[in-house]
Amino acid sequence: MANKAKLSFWDMWNLSFGFFGVQIAYALQSANISRIFATLGADPHQLSFFWILPPLMGMIVQPLIGKWSDRTWTRMGRRKPYLLVGAIIAVLVMVFLPNAGSLHFSTRLFLGLNMAMWFGLFSLIFLDTSINVAMQPFKMMVGDMVGEEQKARAYSIQSLLCNAGSLVGYLLPIFFTWIGIANEAPEGVVPDSVITSFYVGAAILIACVLYTFLKVKEMPPKEYAEFHGIVAESEGTDGRAGKDDGLLKLLTKAPRTFWTVGLVQFFCWAAFLYMWTYSNGTLAANCWGIDPSAAGATASLEYQAAGNWVGVVFAVQAVGSILWAMVLPKFRNLKTAYVVSLLIGAIGFVSLFFIHDKFIACGAYFLVGAAWAAMLALPFTLLTNALEGNPHMGSYLGLFNCTICLPQIVAAATGGLVLSLVGTQPAMLIMAGAFLVIGAICVRFIKTK
């Protein structure tokens, strides 16, 4: 297709609107998993282990969704069937996960975890799997339907909706506490404010996904092939992936951009895994003056108040990300934008070690939002531009998700050891800042067109 038709703002908005709902679910998970499992009885040195499951499921699921959807052409679309199935499963699991403590399972089982924690673990596995199934099609649809000149803008719109969804998800628990829903519960039971937040988040998720599902019409095979200029011997001219395109084989043919951006991703996502895992304990220790590892601390009003404030600071981070996403297109060079964003985020992380006021902590998380905005938009812009004309776009985007998941798995698996070495949860955020600095240094290895 010599002249690619340009999409309007609202076309690109509709492509990504369902991401708003998916991100609410992801934000509720990110802000509350440590809180939920600490409430169920997990030791602080165990908390990072629970964070292995979400990225592990993403690492398994997203490459498969990419590979399968590259071959899927139905009346409903190419990526949309996976989007809908993932959303439905996510809604069901969001109803069960926060109720793990209400089942009153206190018997200790394998690995010293009680039945409530095992129930929560299996719920978390299904929740993150379904979120990944629902999330990946949005990234792929932008790659499928948006021309190279508009991709940066399309992913910026997706980043905007992503951060807006995060904002809502992070604030739901404190909002429901503010209107009078209980934020305290018996020891081992998740407060009603959190449970209600998951219920409301599930309802918004399915509504937003249905909106995109009904509004977006994906290209049929021949139109897709013409749009991307795909002509291959084994694929004909309809844009379908060939039969011998195994994921490992595709990795060997991946463009250099895949690996160099992936290297930056490794350090960035390890940093944010530490933020999600240790923010609750950091705020409880620095701003509420309690030891989160002390007996009975997680059932205290102070710890649960710190848990609500995690939602507030994460929401401030989302606002910072939204505002910085508007600044990113002003940079003439994407690599410069990437470096500056990560260094600003590093300053935010390191400063949290020294902050003992909950309102000043909001400023630090605002700076962290700059790094988050860059991580959401720039890697996919750089990669999809490098993949233009490749019929395996979905497979590569699925494989690229491993550069998001693997660092989180490594950081989660080693988090307890690192915590033992540095001594406190606030010190873990200094480590997060150091990771972002290393990521900024690695940006120099990325080559662009």
- pLDDT of 63 above 50: yes
**Phi, psi (deg, nearest 5) at residue 176:** -70, -30
Q: Position 85: which residue type? A: V
pTM over 0.85: no
In tens, the pLDDT along 2-56 reads: 456 688 889 999 999 999 999 999 889 877 877 777 777 766 666 677 777 777 7
As given in the structure block, the two tokens for residue 155 are 């992913």
- Name the pLDDT band for 340 (thresholds 50, 70, 90): very high
Reduce the secondary structure of the chain to three states and give it as a string. Answer: CCCCCCCCHHHHHHHHHHHHHHHHHHHHHHHHHHHHHHHCCCCHHHHHHHCCHHHHHHHHHHHHHHHHHHHCCECCECCHHHHHHHHHHHHHHHHHHHHHHHHCCCCECHHHCEHHHHHHHHHHHHHHHHHHHHHHHHHHHHHHHCCHHHHHHHHHHHHHHHHHHHHHHHHHHHHHHHCCCCCCCCCCCCCHHHHHHHHHHHHHHHHHHHHHHHHCCCCCHHHHHHHHCCCECCCECCCCCCCCCCHHHHHHCCCHHHHHHHHHHHHHHHHHHHHHHHHHHHHHHHHCCCCCCCCCHHHCHHHHHHHHHHHHHHHHHHHHHHHHHHHHHHCCCHHHHHHHHHHHHHHHHHHCCCCCCHHHHHHHHHHHHHHHHHHHHHHHHHHHHHCCCCCCHHHHHHHHCHHHHHHHHHHHHHHHHHHHHHCCHHHHHHHHHHHHHHHHHHHHHCCCC
> Is the pLDDT higher at 277 or at 35?
277
pLDDT of amino acid 1: 46
pLDDT of amino acid 329: 80
- pLDDT of 384 above 90: no
pLDDT of amino acid 288: 93
Q: pLDDT > 70: what percent of the chain?
A: 90
pLDDT of amino acid 236: 45
Alpha-carbon distance 431 to 65, whole Å? 33
Alpha-carbon distance 363 to 346, whole Å? 13
Tokens 């605002």 belong to: 366
- Name the pLDDT band for 399 (thresholds 50, 70, 90): confident
* Protein fold of 9-445: Growth Hormone; Chain: A; (1.20.1250)
Q: Of 169-173, 185-189, 320-324, 348-352, where does mean pLDDT reach its minimum?
A: 185-189
pLDDT of amino acid 351: 97
Nearest-5° angle of CA 423, CA 284, CA 427?
A: 30
What is the arithmetic mean of pLDDT over 218-242? 65
pLDDT of amino acid 105: 52
Q: Of 203-212, 352-361, 396-405, where does mean pLDDT reach its minimum?
A: 396-405
Alpha-carbon distance 5 to 153, whole Å? 15
pLDDT of amino acid 222: 83
Average pLDDT score, the chain: 84
What is the arithmetic mean of pLDDT over 269-277? 93
What is the arithmetic mean of pLDDT over 131-142? 83
In tens, the pLDDT along 169-207 reads: 988 988 999 999 988 777 777 888 989 999 999 999 999
> Is the pLDDT higher at 113 or at 71?
71
> Is the pLDDT higher at 17 or at 220?
17
In tens, the pLDDT along 93-102 reads: 898 888 776 6
> Is the pLDDT higher at 13 or at 69?
13
pLDDT of amino acid 212: 93
pLDDT of amino acid 283: 95
- pLDDT of 275 above 60: yes
Question: Comparing C-alpha atoms, which of 297, 240, 263, 215 is closest to residue 406?
Answer: 263
Alpha-carbon distance 104 to 119, whole Å? 11
Tokens 């020294």 belong to: 354
As given in the structure block, the two tokens for residue 193 are 């404010």
What is the arithmetic mean of pLDDT over 349-363? 96
> Is the pLDDT higher at 354 or at 8?
354
Q: Measured between alpha carbons, how far is residue 301 from residues 183, 196, 305, 424 in Å?
A: 8, 18, 6, 21
User: How many other CB atoms are there within 10 angstroms of residue 212's CB atom?
Assistant: 25
pLDDT of amino acid 391: 72
Instruction: Identify the top-confidence range among 258-262, 289-293, 386-390.
Output: 258-262
Alpha-carbon distance 137 to 81, whole Å? 9
Nearest-5° angle of CA 326, CA 128, CA 257?
A: 50
User: How many other CB atoms are there within 10 angstroms of residue 104's CB atom?
Assistant: 10
pLDDT of amino acid 113: 62
Question: Comparing C-alpha atoms, which of 35, 29, 30, 32 is closest to residue 299?
Answer: 35
Exposure class string for 401-430: b at 16+ Cβ within 10 A, else e:
bbbbbbbbbbbbeebbeebeeeebbbebbb
